[in-house]
Structure 1
Amino acid sequence: MAKSEKAGKMDTLTLDDLTVAIRNGIDREGMPEEQAKHMAQHILNFFGYSERIIDNILEPEDRDAFYMLEDTGILTTEREETTLYDGREWRIHYWLFRKERITELIEGGSAMDAEAEDVSSVYDELDAEAWQRNSS
């Protein structure tokens, strides 16, 4: 099965898939693969096999990472409101993966890599004379 077919049928989010999405969504050139993989593992440890997690389990440093992934579209939030027995309203905030966006980032990354290779190959074909500045 091709990578794009796999990503399009994503039921279970894998460490490798999330690593690629993080690198492509945040900064493909600036974030080393190992750092993206570490972040992906850290995020997946919160979710386990769940589709969503409750916000109040996060420490401030973890929440910062979640906000960064929300900016890329990898995560999103939702809230639920319920009425307590004493009549007060209670809000519960959740974090969810946006699997459709993760799929776009995985597929978009491979398409962007192919385009980058095409652009660089144009310059590879030029001989040394093309790069000489004409001083006349």
Structure 2
Amino acid sequence: MRLNLPADFLNRMRTMLGEEYEAFQKSYKEERQYGLRVNTRKISCEEFESICPFPIKKIPWVPNGYFYPSEVRPSLHPYYRAGLYYLQEPSAMTPAACLPVTPRACQSLPARQFWTYARRLEEKPRNWPQNWPAKES
């Protein structure tokens, strides 16, 4: 598939990504990845893995994220209607799994997910407030 992206965008990406720019361009030729995120307020990942009626594969960088094949339609399953999982593009799950946020920003459920993951980080990110919470043991 040929994608016509704006030249300004491509130039910005080339500058930002440096030597990774070629991999970025190649990614547009790869098959799309489909993902879901388990709602751990309703079911554990282990429980979900044992009852999931279609093939899934763990997303390594997202504790409750899974890839599923393109031919599967998880939105048609009763587990989706029951709220056991959310359909979400895998790269959209990444920020909540990797970036810290402050408690003040945690007014919504997605922000609370950020905070949960942030508390698991080993090091305080650069330019982060001095009162950043200690790692949970």
**What's the TM-score, normalizing by structure 1?**
0.32
Greater helix proportion: 1
Greater strand proportion: 1
Which is bigger in relative contact order (C-alpha 8 A, separation at least 6)?
A: 1
